[in-house]
Amino acid sequence: MKRISIAIDGLSASGKSTLAHGLAKALNYLYIDTGAMYRAVTLFAIREKLVDREGNLDEEAMMEALPQVYLTFRFNPGSGRSEICLNGRNVEKEIRSHEVSRHVSVIAKMPAVREKLVRAQRRMGEMKGVVMDGRDIGTVVLPDAELKFFMTASMEARGKRRFLEMQRKGRAVTLDEIVENLGSRDLIDSTRDHSPLTQAEDAIVIDNSDLSIEEQFDHMMACVKQVLEG
């Protein structure tokens, strides 16, 4: 059976990782959450006090510290997912905090950070049979992916989804704070100089504001089948 690479890009909290994980599971492919990698570097920067509460980043110190950042994914049978480890320690929970979300886009803008992570992502994507989600997968990391999706949804839908997710996890953050964060990340991510969030020309756009997860999954699986049989 032919194996392909699937790239999923899109706006913050547009449901990329839920669908990417679902597709990878159904196809028995490897799922790589590249956002988790940028979030882990951000957690490192917060812990090392390279970024302050206002989001001012000491870029020079960050550059110097980058070789000390070692990222791996480890499968957790409990969650059924590959979870991110920062220097050998599982940080999957910590990287989803609102504090990390507040600073991640400023760190993800740094060319040195992107170069380091893109190199690792390309290596992981070398073998076919991979679903990777992020902002620059179809354009920069895996430009030759056989199938590319670009996911988008209204701010209202994305804000509500992320708010419910944070509530389920017992995190104290308001809907207004979440909407403010999604808006600011979308702006920084799509206007940065280095590999900004843009839709690849050959990407299939999915606006999922009014689609259920099942509807999206069925549509995306139909696209996969078409490529595999074509």
**What are the residues binding ligand CDP (CB under 6 A)?**
12-13, 17, 34-35, 38-39, 104-105, 108, 134-136, 185, 189
Are 73 and 21 contacting, i.e. CB atoms less than 8 angstroms apart? no
Three-state SS at 108: helix
Q: Which is nearer to ligand CDP, 5 or 17 (CB)?
A: 17
Neighbouring residues of 125: CB distance < 8 A, sequence distance ≥ 6: 5, 32, 132, 141, 142
* DSSP-based three-state secondary structure for 103: helix
Cα separation, 48 vs 58, in Å, equals 11
Q: At its nearest, how many Å lie between ligand CDP and the CB of residue 34? A: 4
- Minimum CB separation of residue 226 from ligand CDP in Å reads 25
Q: Where are the beta strands (DSSP E) in 81-223?
A: 81-86, 89-90, 130-134, 147-152, 204-207
Task: State both tokens at 100.
Answer: 């990390």
Strands 71-76 and 5-10: unpaired
Shortest distance (Å) from residue 30 CB to ligand CDP: 16
Query: Do 41 and 53 contact (CB within 8 A), yes or no?
Result: no
State the nearest-atom distance from the C-beta of 91 to ligand CDP, in Å.
13
Q: Which is nearer to ligand CDP, 72 or 228 (CB)?
A: 72
Q: How far is the CB of 1 from ligand CDP (least distance, A)?
A: 28
Closest CB to ligand CDP among residues 213, 225: 213
With respect to ligand CDP, which residue has the nearer C-beta, 27 or 41?
Answer: 41
Q: How many CB atoms lie within 10 A of CB 75?
A: 10
**Smallest separation (angstroms) from ligand CDP to the CB of 207:** 15
> Of the two residues 13 and 224, which places its CB atom closer to ligand CDP in the complex?
13
Query: Which CB sits closer to ligand CDP, 92 or 189?
Result: 189
